[in-house]
Amino acid sequence: MKKSNLKRAIVSLFCMTLLLSCQKEETQPMMQSGEAQIEETDSKSIVLGQKLEIPYTVENMQTAFDNLLFNLKGKSKHSKLAKTYKDEEGIEVLPSHYYYRFLPKDSLEHDLLVKDTVLQVSNIPLHYEIEEEGDFYHDPELEGDERADGLSYLYAVVPYDYPIPEEIQNERLDNMYFAPELDKEEPEEGEIVVKQPQNKTTKDILTVDENGEVFEYLELEALKLTNNLEEDELAVLKFYLPNDSSGMLYSYEEASQLGYQQKDLVIDLVSVETLLEQETLANRRKWYPSGKITVQEDAVNKTVGVMGAEVKVRKWGLLVIRRARTDRNGNFRTSRTRTKRVKYAVHFNSDSRRFRIMAGNMLVRAKHRGTRKYKRAPWNQHFSYGRSKFYALVHNAVYDFYDRAVGKFGLHHPNQSWLRISAKYNQESGDHLDINPGGKFTLLPYAEIRVGRLDDGRAMASDEIYALVSHEMAHASHYRMDRDFFINIRAAGCTLQTMAESWATGVETEVTNDRYLGLSSNYVSTGSYRNYRPLNLFNSERQAREIKHKSNNEYTPIVIDLIDDFNQRFELSILALPIDRVKGYSLKQIQTSLNHARGPHGWKERLKSQHYNSTEGFIDELFGVYMFDNCK
């Protein structure tokens, strides 16, 4: 495990019993000119923009209902809707949802809220635009508090009949009213069914409005009251001026030239019928939120899909109404909805592989919230820079290890529960420390794996990030396969540490080159200083290094040498290089022999006894170079 900034307290607590490799590894060859420059700040806070004028507050929806009924009786008597609602009056709007914020006092309360699939909490206020993305958000109301635990407010839009956890400090920020979907489809986990609070007028609305048409009119009125109608709607709708008895209709452009805002005007309901008819003809009354999430693989200059990530669709950015998973190409599609305006967000986690990417700490899960509202339109999000690109690359590396490398190379499966990977954007880190016994529950709020974006102060390329993640995943796999290996590993001397790091280095090398050669047959590793195979592949420079007496180099290429047919001393004609006359072993065979081995001698003897290989007579020679004369 490469670089780490672990807290001394946790190191002293656990390094006596668990593997904690946080040695500084040798500096890799520097990237060529043109590499990305790093930011100077250690981390970056999310910056909020303007406060939203939310159409769906009970207060605004009540005004919209009142305006709609008044309009039916006055200005728009000739609309179809007027005939249906000619006797209706006194509609009382009751909350269908409440908007809360919670303040957990500890990590247990925090986890209780985060894991609630109905609450779907957000660590960022939902009633503000996001001006700039970042790693974290500090609520200005809590700036004066000494909250060393990093806990802050969590926000949620909650169904009116859902029992919130009253024991957790909470505050109701607003009352909301959302129209029902009126669909018979069963919702997926985490999708909230919009139920109507029962009163007489609500029952009347649902009785006469089986197709949800009234709610279409109501939503348009609510959007108008908050100046949120969009250009395509304004282009079709006609308006009456307030306090104008002439009955003259105006386009929005004409009305705005007279100094009126949307909220000042009265919608002509006949023009609403025209708008709805156009949408119906275009087969857009119900639609499927969909899209594609991709990330730039700069090591091969290709765009790839973000695999198996969770996409949440929120009605107007507030209420989670649909969820989906991306496929291997990054495509996603949810079940259909009547909701016109949605905001999308991608969360970097996998339910099938059971892992979560954390945004540099253990309280914030890595995600990217789109800043735009989409009206019946797909979300095609590409990450080419910044934090979201880093999170996406880490997510893909973890997912690929579970989904491809484990099966293809016969590797032991890592943590079967929720493996947490802390992705540190402006730090140098690479380590594995599993304090989650049995992989089923958590003793401490601490990530099992930490990976940083930087290496000796420079931003790593995508293949380097992939390799770092694969290295730490190999340790996680090894730990789950043979936990006793890691008991008091430091006290056993550097040989067990060298075995662990050399194994992870071999896994990292094999799965990384296999991955990137699959993306491009012309792949050359980032920072390569050779122009021919195999010395222009990832980690190949390790085979061109001299092995010095007692160098304490734990990251040896012995696993690579057991697999490949490249004899570095012969091929490079350098006598100081190791003789590698072993070839043809697989990662699965090497892993089998590593399991339950308690030293280099046992590992090599198990290799010879458990597998047939025509070059096994040279194994002693190879182990003698890397494993028995390498400790200080």
Q: Which tens digit of pLDDT belongs to each residue from 214-226?
A: 788 888 999 999 9
Q: How confident is the model at residue 28 (pLDDT cuts 50, 70, 90)?
A: very low
Q: Which tens digit of pLDDT belongs to each residue from 486-517?
A: 876 554 556 788 899 999 999 999 999 999 99
The b-or-e profile of 329-339 (16+ CB within 10 A means b, else e) is ebbbbbbebbb
- Model-level pTM? 0.86
Torsion angles phi and psi, residue 325, rounded to 5? -115, 145
Contact yes or no for 328/395 (Cβ under 8 A): no
Token code pair at residue 136: 């974290």
Mean pLDDT computed over 150-159: 88
Q: Tell me whether strands 249-251 and 154-159 are parallel, antiparallel or unpaired.
A: unpaired
C-beta atoms surrounding 400 within 10 Å: 21
Q: Bridge-partner residues for 421, per DSSP?
A: 357, 449
Mean pLDDT computed over 389-397: 97
Q: Which tens digit of pLDDT belongs to each residue from 333-355?
A: 999 888 888 999 999 999 887 89
Highest mean pLDDT among 150-154, 270-274, 290-294, 365-369: 290-294
If you ran DSSP here, which 8-state letter would residue 404 be given? I
Residue with tokens 């990030």: 465
Cα distance between residue 475 and residue 494, in whole Å: 16
Q: Which tens digit of pLDDT belongs to each residue from 449-469?
A: 999 999 989 999 999 999 999
pLDDT for res 146: 46
pLDDT for res 423: 93
Report the amino acid identity of residue 121.
Answer: V
pLDDT for res 42: 41
470 burial type by CB count under 10 A (0-12 exposed, 13-18 middle, 19+ buried): buried
Spatial CA neighbour of 25 closest among 537, 578, 492, 554: 554
Q: How confident is the model at residue 39 (pLDDT cuts 50, 70, 90)?
A: very low
Can you list the positions of beta strands (E) in 434-477?
Answer: 449-452, 454-455, 458-459
Q: Does residue 30 register a pLDDT over 50?
A: no
Token code pair at residue 249: 């209709």
Mean pLDDT computed over 419-430: 89
Token code pair at residue 229: 């109608």
